[in-house]
Structure 1
Amino acid sequence: MAVENSNTLLPTSAPRFPTYHTAADLSPQSRILCEILATAPVHEVEARLASTGGQPENEIIQQVLKHSYNTPSAAAKFFRWSSVPRKHTGYSWNLMVDLLGKNSLFEPMWDAIRSMKQESLLSLTTFVSVFENYCVAGRFDEAVMTFDVMERYGIQPDIIAVNSLLSAMCREDNRTSKALEFFEKIKAKIPPDADSYAILLEGWEKEGNVAKAKNTFGEMVIRVGWSPQYLFAYDAFLNTLVRGLQADEAIKFLQVMKGKNCLPGLRFFSNALDIFVKQNDSAHAIMLWEIMVGNGLVPTLIMYNTMIGLLSGNNDINTAFRLLDEMVFYGSFPDSLTYNMIFACLIKNKKVYEVGKFFVEMVKNEWPPTPPNFAAAIKMLFEGDDPEMAIDIWKYMVKNNISPRDDSANEVLLGLCELGRLSDIKRFAEKMIDERIIIYESTMTKTKNVFYKEGRSARESYDQILKKWKTSHL
């Protein structure tokens, strides 16, 4: 057989493929044979193999080939050696063809294919492997040539073969145009199906080519119509539009698809939502959300949090609250992230009354604020003339031993300083120091200024705080 003359094959310089070292399920015999192929000089391989005793069974041969892609010369010698006295199966031959192709040893690969033809072992699987390996090597014209000669080798080219070649081309970077050339040439002879268009659309999606995606999608609708089964094609097309900053077009097509009962699945909506978040596009995100929920798709907690985060970041607190209220009806229960994003938005927008009310709800549902949100809320409430709620929040932190609470403690003292509540400052500061809470030097400076303005007695009170503060630093 042709692969006997394998002296021209060279092993790769470094492992590129899985080896027997990492395979947990190899039989002892397979492992021994793999080690010979990996370590023996090429001219000694057959002698070493012969020293192992009996010829391996087909299953062993296949295991060895699968784990010997990094040593094509040795694998070819093993393949020849193991063919006596039995003949190889079609599966073993296909492994050998793939092994040679993946190492860009295309001449020996074709020798093997010709031998397979003589033994009537060729199949579409053989040619799919050739398509893939030529495309990985960047030899697209040879991949198309392989398709063109399939019939000479007794394999009828069909739509599965067409789609296999299209897929192999589109998997490579920026080669969808090459795939389209082949598609345009072959579609009159072998009519494309929905998978053909889905493959091209996924290629355009990867390349971000909106114009080509529109052309391909338009042709798809004319030639194969609409069907809920074509979700992969719809997902790819819509993703291309969204990523290509054509959100209006994406929403328009979604409405059309809705009328055809062909809406994409939750995967698309989740991906599109992530893209809108990156683009900070809350307006289109809301439109997308309404289409999704209005057609019975149930968002996940992650999707709710993504949406609420986007709305909160854009200060759309009313819509964020609406989503929070509807979550439970769709089986998604808000978590710490959900509550804290809304809480942070309320703080940012200085919604004094709402912050206090929402804090009560958070605590009731056992999702208290994060330490940074505690500190921000306390600061904002003091500035917003609701010091009592700020102090209540601080007391909650102390009672529930929430830490770290240094920032919050300092905000309490600074807020009381602004109000001139000296006795409260002294009481809170001393207790904080006792609890080993860090009071910042800048806070002590502010406190000193407030106390020193109020005369001798107040200065003495401050000095007592200062002495205790310094002692705590020893």
Structure 2
Amino acid sequence: MSLHRKRHGDIEYSRSTLGKRQHHRSPSLPRRGGGSAASDHRRPSFPSYQEVPDLPSKIWLLCKIIASSASLESSLDDSGVGISSEDVEEVLKLSYSHPASAVKFFRWAGHRLQHRHSPYSWNLVVDLLGKNLLFDAMWDAVHSMLAEGLVSLATFASIFSSFAAARRPADALAAFDTLPAHGVPQDVAALNSLLSALSRENLTASAYDFLHQNQHRIRPDADSYAILLEGFENERNRRGAREVFDEMVLSIGWDTSNIPAYDTFLNTLLFHSTGGLDEALRWLLIMKEHNCYPGKKFVRNAIEECIKLKDLRTATLLWDSLVGKNGCQPDTELYNSMISLFCHLNQMDSAFKFLDDMVPNGAFPDSRTYNLMLQYLIKSAKLQEVFVLLKEMVKNEFLPSPANCNSAMKMFIDFKDWDMAMKAWKIMADNGIVEEEVANSLVIGLRDHDRLPEACKYADIMINKGIKLHSSTMSKLKISLVQVGKGPMYDLLLSKWKMCSRG
């Protein structure tokens, strides 16, 4: 099975797979009543043409007419626009909120296209009617398609999806039974389309029951089980996942290429409230005995669980046995997880080793990587390391978080490392991330430790940058400058300070 499994119920149909345009009659308009809509089901919100940037003016106009015109056909006639099959498709995609008007537009366009709508347009009509719970009208459209031989599995993927979204699994299953009557084979592709539609709406139990009851006539494949496992993962249904996994192994055996299924199953076990990590690790050992492995998602989530438990030993074993093997290449997020664990356990040397290993392995540090390291270096009062990392961050165009900036400056000031404090302040000020309190603390700290020239220099820079110095800071500078006979320097600073304060 492919590592990147295709979702079988997606409605963004491919025109190239739906056949050529053909002549056919238009569908009837949606009818009120008659069980067409489920009154107890809240209808979803749909995308609007008004939300789409750079929409072609013709499409925008047609969508506007559909959304707002009482006399639709007259307004469309008066618009004077030409129409193509591609235009119809684009308009229908953005008209789900107005199903009755969309069908009228479809019929109006059909007259101008010699009734040669594309199969894609027809499938969009079926979909927008179904998504609006207008199931009678939806079936009318399907019957029109059937008369021209246009019905495909893509059509039924939409039908399955609409019934599932309406919480009507029985109708989705009944629709599956009508496939042969519509010229669509009841094969494993159709089965997987149904399973996917149900599972996406948290109806995985119904999907599994159907598979279980019909596997004698439609043999499930690896995708079938992967779809169910993904559904039970989303529902956090550990029991259901175990049953599906056991049945999968009995039915198709152990398959080294079935990575998504193994990954999904282990993740489902992992997120159980008690003992999830231990159970997932036991199953991982069983998989490894059959030379089968999960994907990157499980490794990342398992390491995150190790962080919560402060379990470095298990995290290291997972990394050493899975990362870099069987297609599980380390990425930035995986590295960040391990670095976070090392930082939590105050093992900064190991954290730096993983940081150094990132680029050679094709993973590049990001803002989270650096800020994780910085946070714990500051906590451990590693002054030199903090400054070196700050420089590296900025060089690589990543900025420290405001909290880390303030903590770093306070650390340098508290330790009276003024040279480092001034260098760090420059890095932060150049990137616009110095807060008022930190700036004032630096000026006062320099002044209090016999570094008056630097205090005045930075006060002047801060005033010019629009950083507010407190009146108490200015008063302390005045006292010191007057004492050394440099009152005019203070007067100049005060003049600038007043101008900035007024501005």
Query: Which bin holds the TM-score, normalised by the shorter protein?
Result: 0.7 to 0.9
Residues of 2 paired with 1:7 and 1:256: CA distance? 56
Residue in structure 2 matched with residue 122 of structure 1 by the alignment: 151
Q: Paired residue for 1:156? A: 185
Question: Which among 317, 327, 334 is matched to residue 303 of structure 1?
Answer: 334
1:167 aligned onto 2:191: no
Whether the aligned pair in 2 keeps the contact of 1:413 and 1:429 (CA below 8 Å) is no
Q: Is the Cα–Cα contact under 8 Å of residues 209 and 240 in structure 1 kept in the other structure?
A: yes
Contact 1:239–1:268 (CA under 8 A) maintained in structure 2? yes
Aligned residue number for residue 266 of structure 1: 296
Q: Paired residue for 2:120?
A: 91
Structure 1 324/61 Cα, relative in aligned 2: closer, same or farther at 3 Å? closer
Q: Closer, same or farther in 2 for the Cα pair 1:349/1:435, shift >3 Å?
A: closer
Q: Quick one: which of 63, 72, 80 aligns to 1:45?
A: 72
Is the contact between residue 43 and residue 132 of structure 2 (CA under 8 Å) also seen in structure 1? no
- Which residue pairs with 2:5 in the alignment? none
CA distance in 2, matches of 1:114, 1:367: 64
The answer to whether the aligner puts 1:427 opposite 2:438 as a matched pair is no
Asked if residue 211 in structure 1 is aligned to residue 251 in structure 2, the reply is no
- The 5 A counterparts of 1:386-465 are 390=417, 393-394=420-421, 396-397=423-424, 404=434, 407=438, 426-428=449-451, 431-432=454-455, 435-436=458-459
Could you tell me how far apart the structure 1 residues matched to 2:333 and 2:252 are? 35
Deviation at 1:240, TM superposition (A): 1.6
1:105 maps onto 2:105 in alignment: no
Per-residue CA deviations over 1:185-231 (Å, capped at 9, x if unaligned) read 22222111111111111111111122221221222222222334322
2:347 to 296, 313, 316: 316
Which residue of structure 2 lines up, in the alignment, with residue 195 of structure 1? Answer: 223
2:225 maps to a residue whose letter is Y
2:104 maps to amino acid: K
CA contact (8 A) 1:433 1:439 kept: no
Distance 1:214 1:318 in 2: 41
Structure 1 residues 366 and 214: alpha-carbon distance in aligned structure 2, compared to 1, 3 A threshold: closer
- Count of aligned residue pairs for this structure pair: 434
Deviates more, 1:291-300 or 1:112-121: 291-300
Decide whether the 8 Å contact of 2:26 with 2:110 is kept in 1.
no
Distance 2:261 2:333 in 1: 25
State the AA in 1 paired with 2:239.
A
Partner of 1:79: 106
Separation in structure 1 between the aligned mates of residue 61 and residue 419 of structure 2, nearest angstrom: 73
Question: Take 2:393 and 2:138, find their aligned partners in 1: how far apart are those partners?
Answer: 66
User: Which amino acid is the alignment partner of residue 304 of structure 1?
Assistant: Y
Distance 1:434 1:138 in 2: 70
Deviates more, 1:314-323 or 1:13-22: 13-22
Going by fraction, where is helix more abundant, 1 or 2? Answer: 1
Correspondence for 1:62 among 67, 72, 89: 89
How far, CA to CA, are the matches of 1:91 and 1:431 in structure 2?
72
Q: 2:411, 2:54 → 1: CA distance?
A: 55
What letter matches 1:86 in structure 2? H
- Deviation of the 1:244 alpha carbon: 2.2
What is the aligned-residue RMSD (CA, Å)? 4.6
User: Displacement of 1:311 after TM fit?
Assistant: 1.8
Query: Percent identity of the aligned residues?
Result: 37
Q: Which moved more, 1:402-411 or 1:302-311?
A: 402-411
Give how far 1:365 is off.
5.8
**Paired residue type of 2:180:** E
Partner of 1:254: 284
Contact residue 339 and residue 367 of structure 1 kept, 8 A: no
SS in 2 for 1:129: helix
C-alpha displacement at 1:315, in angstroms? 2.3
* 1:68 positional shift: 2.8
Instruction: Tell which deviates more after alignment, 64-73 or 289-298.
Output: 289-298
Out of 195-204 and 2-11, give the one that drifted further. Answer: 2-11
Verify the 8 A CA contact 1:20 1:67 in the aligned structure 2: yes
Give deviations 1:396-451, integer Å, cap 9, x for gaps.
5478786849659969999x9xxxxxxx9551467536643879989x99xxxxxx
Measure how far apart 1:37 and its partner are: 2.9
Residue 269 of structure 1: how far off its partner (Å): 3.0
Secondary structure at the residue paired with 1:229?
coil
1:315-335 deviations in whole A, cap 9, x for unaligned?
234532442454454245667
Query: In structure 1, what is the equivalent of residue 27 of structure 2?
Result: 3
The TM-score with structure 1 as length reference comes to 0.73
1:241 aligns with 2:278: no
Residues 1-54 of structure 1 deviation map (CA, whole Å, 9 limit, x = unaligned): 68335564999x9994334443745573x555444433332xx43444455679
Greater alpha carbon shift after TM alignment, 115-124 vs 429-438? 429-438
Which consecutive unaligned segments of at least 5 residues does structure 2 have? Answer: 1-24, 463-468, 499-503
1:175 Cα offset (Å): 2.0
Gap regions ≥5 residues in structure 1: 417-423, 446-459
